[in-house]
Amino acid sequence: MKRFHLLAFFFCALATASFAQKTVGLDNWYNHETNSKTGKIYHYTWDDEAMSGFSQLGDLFKSRGAELKTIARPNSKSMKGIDVYIIVDPDTTKENPTPNYVDASDVKFLKKWVSNGGVLLLMANDGPNCEFTHFNQLAQAFGFRFNPQTLNPVVNRQWDQAAEINLPNHPLFSGVNKVYLKEVGPITLSKDAQPVLKDGDAVFIAETQFGKGYVLAIGDPWLYNEYIDHWLLPESFENLKAANNLVDLLLKKTGK
């Protein structure tokens, strides 16, 4: 963990952009899992420091001076002052017996929020591990459809089975040669959505400008603690560099 923090601040120091303070909200309404052992909410949350958490990604945002918030259902009150909003891996009934599904009013609110300048990151998951039907009602409003498939499977930690090395000329992959993207679901595009990362014909990451705002879609939670640095990953993977780039990209897209 000490090593991660040193690297995080090293890459932050190399960043050329400077940002006024932004506020980054992470959903805990559609993704709201309870750890059966501890009874606490966990899994892709800011304060989950285990492999399952987003604490290290949160540290990268904080190293840029951003404030972190956890968001209940998105509405005008909970989203007041939020510059970047992240939704990750909405619950299935296996993960939460009473999931909070995206509905039409959520889609209407978030379309308006993005159109007015909000930056939205949508992160799905592979086939068995994400709720697709309702989440896609939101994704499709911006030209994305997450597909319930599983690509880049990895057997017995044969890490290179999930290596992506044909990386595009895009700010997300600036200075990055190799990333790990395991068990990812592909994305079908429509409207003005454009691919960012493709593996053959499969789109793994895509983006769109929407009104004054921006939406990035990824078919996997991707940069959670387990795979953001070298907790498990071999040294050849550069997920931490990509995570720094992601943070800078999202903050820059707020346009403030």
DSSP 75-135: STTTTTT-SEEEEE-PPPTTT-SS-----HHHHHHHHHHHHTT-EEEEE---GGGS--TTH
pLDDT at residue number 256: 57
Q: b/e per residue, 168-188, with b = 16+ CB within 10 A?
A: eeeebbeebebbbbbbbbbbb
Q: What is the DSSP letter of 237?
A: -
Rounded-to-integer distance, Cα 45 and Cα 43, Å: 6
Residues of the chain with pLDDT below 70 are 1-19, 256
pLDDT at residue number 14: 47
Cβ atoms of 109 and 242 within 8 Å: the answer is no
pLDDT at residue number 152: 98
Residues 6+ apart with CB under 8 A from 98: none
Rounded-to-integer distance, Cα 90 and Cα 102, Å: 9
What are the pLDDT digits (tens) for 199-246?
999 999 999 999 999 999 999 999 999 999 998 999 999 999 999 999
Amino acid, single-letter form, for residue 243: A
Within a 13 Å sphere around the CA of 238, how many CA atoms are in the beta-carbon half?
16
Rg (CA), the chain: 17
Which CATH number do you get for residue 219?
Answer: 3.40.50.880
- Angle, CA of 224, 228 and 234, to the nearest 5°: 135
Q: What is the DSSP letter of 243?
A: H
pTM of the shown model: 0.93
Handedness of CA 207, 129, 41, 12 (dihedral sign): negative
pLDDT at residue number 74: 98
pLDDT at residue number 91: 97
Residues 6+ apart with CB under 8 A from 221: 44, 88, 89, 123, 125
Count of the separate structural domains present in the chain: 1
| Full domain range(s) for residue 145 | 2-253
